[in-house]
């Protein structure tokens, strides 16, 4: 059987940002955990793809219990270093043999993971197997429609498949009876920063498909490096933290086509009570 996941993935940047784009990505990821914490109050929550554990800390503010699972020893070591309180509730997953009992969790949170998975059906089946009756499965993933042309492969080298909102909902409905998909919107400066980053990466990826494109892209990178303004680290951090926060982002049931990120809530029970914050 082929492994469901890519073992090789980096630690997410959660501090000491060196670009506005990195900070915006952090806000997007953090917002998903903050919203998840409003849905998971009192539940036992498993963070599937916990990375450095920053999301586990957010979930722990409302959850009854929080655990983390990841395919990377490096990531789990970082969780132990940053948040020793989670040391005894971490599991290493090889993508084949789940190290957990079935039906143990009241919620499974898996953010920025599904796009990395070679075998999505096996991945979702495994999450479904550890989720208790009436439990919630929460997913966050990039919006393909602002990142790729039709039929285009992901330009992020760690991504296998990216989804539109409709594709994500259709995929999740194969495993869960009820699925709601929302789009991340917000402050125009934050949203446009991510849209412009994605559009630029798409242009570069398309250029790279031809020899002349590769040469053009290399020249553009040289020019960009030479002309990039330098902002002192302390000033950069201060400006970002003062101006932009997760409070300026929100999830919406509409405008899914141009959302900068997607968020899905899944269950085997009706989701009529689910609200967006």
Residue 4 included in any domain: no
Upper half-sphere CA count for residue 246 (Cβ side, 13 Å): 14
Quick check: is 2 in a domain? no
Domain of residue 189, residue span: 20-267
C-alpha 72/C-alpha 77 separation (Å) is 9
In a domain, 258, yes or no: yes
* Number of structural domains the chain divides into: 1
Looking at residue 263, which CATH number applies to its domain?
3.40.50.150
Structure tokens at 181: 């998909």
In angstroms, rounded to a whole number, what is the distance separating the alpha carbons of residues 194 and 40?
28
State residue 1's pLDDT score: 47
Question: Is 10 contained in some domain?
Answer: no
Closest listed residue to residue 240, CA positions, set 15, 20, 18, 7: 20
In this structure, is residue 275 part of a structural domain?
A: no
Per-residue pLDDT of the chain (277 residues; tens, 9 = 90+): 455 555 557 888 888 888 889 999 999 999 999 999 999 999 999 999 999 999 999 999 999 999 999 999 999 999 999 999 999 999 999 888 888 888 889 999 999 999 999 999 999 999 999 999 999 999 999 999 999 999 999 999 999 999 999 999 999 999 999 999 999 999 999 999 999 999 999 988 888 776 666 666 565 665 555 555 555 556 666 667 678 999 999 999 999 999 999 999 999 998 866 555 4
| The model's pTM | 0.88
Residue 25 within any structural domain of the chain: yes
On whether residue 254 sits in a domain, the answer given is: yes
Q: Going by C-beta distance under 8 Å and a sequence separation of 6 or more, which residues neighbour residue 201?
A: 147, 155, 156
């Amino acid at each position: 059987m082929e492994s469901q996941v890519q073992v090789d993935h980096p630690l997410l940047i959660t501090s000491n940002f060196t670009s506005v784009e990195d900070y915006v990505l952090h806000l997007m990821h953090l917002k998903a955990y903050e919203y998840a914490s409003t849905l998971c109050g009192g539940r036992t929550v498993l963070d599937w793809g916990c990375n450095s554990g920053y999301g586990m800390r957010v979930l722990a503010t409302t959850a009854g219990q929080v655990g983390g699972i990841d395919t990377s020893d490096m990531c789990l070591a970082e969780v132990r270093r940053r948040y020793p309180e989670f040391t005894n509730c971490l599991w290493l997953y090889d993508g084949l043999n789940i190290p957990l009992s079935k039906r143990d969790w009241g919620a499974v949170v898996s953010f920025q993971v599904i796009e990395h998975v070679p075998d999505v059906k096996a991945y979702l089946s495994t999450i479904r197997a550890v989720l208790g009756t009436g439990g919630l499965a929460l997913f966050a993933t990039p919006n393909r429609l602002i990142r790729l042309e039709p039929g285009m492969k992901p330009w992020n080298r760690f991504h296998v498949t990216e989804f539109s909102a409709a594709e994500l909902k259709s995929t999740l409905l194969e495993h869960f009876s009820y699925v709601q998909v929302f789009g991340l919107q917000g402050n125009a400066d934050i949203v446009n920063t991510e849209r412009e980053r994605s559009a630029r990466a798409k242009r570069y990826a398309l250029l790279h498909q031809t020899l002349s494109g590769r040469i053009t892209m290399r020249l553009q990178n040289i020019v960009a490096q030479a002309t990039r303004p330098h902002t002192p680290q302390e000033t950069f951090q201060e400006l970002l933290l003062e101006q932009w926060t997760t409070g300026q982002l929100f999830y919406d049931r509409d405008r899914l086509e141009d959302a900068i990120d997607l968020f899905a809530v899944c269950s085997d029970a009706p989701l009529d009570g689910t609200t967006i914050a």
